[in-house]
Structure 1
């Protein structure tokens, strides 16, 4: 199966979600926020969530990380949990680890540990979670063997994802997509699993 989706943050501004859905987009992953303070919730998160629910578009969420130690990753997990409390997500809640200077300065083992700390805390609270990162990140910056239990949402732009070190459930294949209802470029995704069925059957993510 291949399900078409987009992921968005405040950078996309005002979105006409009915137009997005009518264009054939079947799910959206929303940035819930970043960092460790509740003031860092994405300013468009609530609005985007409510609008997606209003038009019947399944949603997931992601949390952009700056954590450089396990305590920081735990703090981010708690802030993320506060931000998503009381909401229902048909798609996973993702930990987004990227090329921040403080994170790049760590060892692959340390970076891997941060992913596991954040995701374990979300799982503890009944969420279906996973790691969002680039193919390069999986290849060179974390230890894939230690992340086999997690779902992966991989970014690899082009006509194919190439050789990804781990099985992945979602492929982000472009950062320059054009979708009716969204002004300017937007990330395009393809999901290969029936996440809504998996998550609702397991009673996770608020279900």
Structure 2
């Protein structure tokens, strides 16, 4: 999966996000501001957010850091939250770490700044991440911190040479996109952040209500004659094309294929797919199999 996006700030001026969307761009990461004071909120943030949402784009935000201490980073998180309060974001809220004065203090210091900012954002229900160039990422950020938060790596050229996992890559600062006057940063996302964030109830979204058919019953890892009987019913369902899952009915184990079939059927019925085939599931499945074979 490779999703096209851009990131913008006041330096791009007045943007026609309708044209941006028509150019095949799916998301935009908007600078919310920088530093420790609300007066440093990006003057175009509100307008950019409103127009991007109206154009149907998925939106994230970033906050440029000048933090000289962990306390500064927490203060930046607080003012970032003040700037973005009341809005919904389908992409993470990123801590933008670029200052040489920060890098000069070493890996432990830079990693602590990231943890301080992102930790505050997470406490408040935001899905937090780090924006950083590839070389300082490898030099000044611990592996634990790089793996802990959503990672957006900047490296300009034909490929990103970071060997670790990352969710977004900023591949140029001189991109040309319809609707943007002059050059802008262009990005690819490799992670389905909108689904993760919406389903998790982050960034201003309400977590979807879970609706379970059963909370106990047969589940992955179980082995019994009851599981074998369940799989026979599921096999009849599969014969009618009502599940695409592959599972072996010659043994009594509840493994990946059985779980997939159970979850597909739960989803079809409008329930949360929790992988559990309990009394209610088996009863309803039996009734539907009976109806199918007698229709």
Shorter-chain TM-score above 0.5: yes
> Displacement, 1:168?
0.3
Give, in whole Å, the separation in 1 of the partners of 2:86 and 2:159.
Answer: 37
Q: 1:101 to 1:139 in 2, by over 3 A?
A: closer
Give, in whole Å, the separation in 2 of the partners of 1:181 and 1:12.
Answer: 10
> Displacement, 1:96?
0.4
Q: TM-score, normalised by structure 1?
A: 0.97
Give, in whole Å, the separation in 2 of the partners of 1:198 and 1:55.
Answer: 22
> Displacement, 1:103?
1.1
Are positions 1:117 and 2:116 aligned together?
yes
- For 1:204, the equivalent position in structure 2 comes to 202
Is the contact made by 2:108 and 2:141 (CA closer than 8 Å) also made in structure 1?
yes
- For 2:153, the equivalent position in structure 1 comes to 154
Give, in whole Å, the separation in 1 of the partners of 2:50 and 2:145.
Answer: 36
- For 1:193, the equivalent position in structure 2 comes to 191
Give, in whole Å, the separation in 1 of the partners of 2:144 and 2:120.
Answer: 20
> Displacement, 1:149?
1.2
- For 2:167, the equivalent position in structure 1 comes to 169
Point out the structure with max Rg over C-alpha: 2
Is the contact made by 1:178 and 1:185 (CA closer than 8 Å) also made in structure 2?
yes
Q: Equivalences for 1:21-36 in 2 at 5 Å?
A: 21-36=21-36
**What is the SS of the residue equivalent to 2:177?**
coil
- For 1:87, the equivalent position in structure 2 comes to 87
The structure richer in strand per residue is 1
> CA deviation digits over 1:52-96, x for unaligned, max 9?
111111100000000010110010000001001000000000000
- For 1:37, the equivalent position in structure 2 comes to 37
Name whichever of 141-150 and 125-134 sits farther off. Answer: 141-150
Give, in whole Å, the separation in 1 of the partners of 2:31 and 2:42.
Answer: 6
Superposition misfits of 4+ residues, deviation over 3 angstroms: none
CA RMSD of aligned residues (A): 0.9
Give, in whole Å, the separation in 1 of the partners of 2:80 and 2:163.
Answer: 27
Give, in whole Å, the separation in 2 of the partners of 1:101 and 1:20.
Answer: 33
Is the contact made by 1:138 and 1:144 (CA closer than 8 Å) also made in structure 2?
no
> Displacement, 1:102?
2.6
> CA deviation digits over 1:23-48, x for unaligned, max 9?
11110000000000000000010000
Number of residue equivalences? 205
Is the contact made by 1:6 and 1:28 (CA closer than 8 Å) also made in structure 2?
yes
> Displacement, 1:120?
0.4
Give, in whole Å, the separation in 1 of the partners of 2:137 and 2:97.
Answer: 10
**What is the SS of the residue equivalent to 2:5?**
strand
Give, in whole Å, the separation in 2 of the partners of 1:18 and 1:146.
Answer: 36
- For 1:97, the equivalent position in structure 2 comes to 97
Is the contact made by 2:114 and 2:145 (CA closer than 8 Å) also made in structure 1?
no
Q: TM-score, normalised by structure 2?
A: 0.68
Gaps of 5+ in 1: none
**What is the SS of the residue equivalent to 2:32?**
strand
> Displacement, 1:165?
4.4
